[in-house]
Amino acid sequence: MIGMGDARQFEAFFASTKDRVFRAVLVSVSDRALAEDAVSEAYTRALDDWVHVAVHPVPVAWVVRTALNVARSHQRRTRRVVLMSPPEIGVHDEPPTDTDLVGRVLALPERQRQVVGLRILLDLSTEQTADLLGIAPGTVTAHLYRALSRIETDLTRESDKESWL
């Protein structure tokens, strides 16, 4: 059982991180229902173990890693194919997201989506992202570079195509 001070600390942590965590997990798993379930489960586990999570160097990374593990476990159990479709726009009163850009991120390979979600949406460092995903920092940098290059190339091609019309 956590004390009142701990409960307030967890409530503040949850309120300040829930939207960013959800967006990062959503981009990584590309399934809104699965992302919601995984994030809910991760925060429940964080609350249950708040004494340890609170002193983690990056508690938000602990929650994201837990959510990604929950989602991965679910996907393995069900052995289903997750179809790539842009999520609904307007997550928890946040400004709307560019659906075209979301679609482009969701079209990236899984590891690139994860890196974009953690580095850009969650604003984790390269080292934190590498630790969270269990890969080398250089691999994080390479995946982010490839993902952003692909999006930029696609946007440039589209812009060039539209200028000729």
What pLDDT score was predicted for residue 20? 92
Alpha carbon 139 to its chain's center: 17
Q: Which domains does the chain have, with CATH numbers?
A: 4-164 (1.20.140)
pTM of the model: 0.64
Q: What is the mean pLDDT of each run of 10 residues along the chain (165 residues)?
A: 76 94 90 93 95 92 93 75 45 54 85 90 89 92 93 79 61
What pLDDT score was predicted for residue 153? 87
Q: How many angstroms separate the CA atoms of 117 and 115, rounded? A: 5
Q: How many angstroms separate the CA atoms of 46 and 160, rounded? A: 48
Token pair recorded at residue 104: 């482009």
What pLDDT score was predicted for residue 30? 84
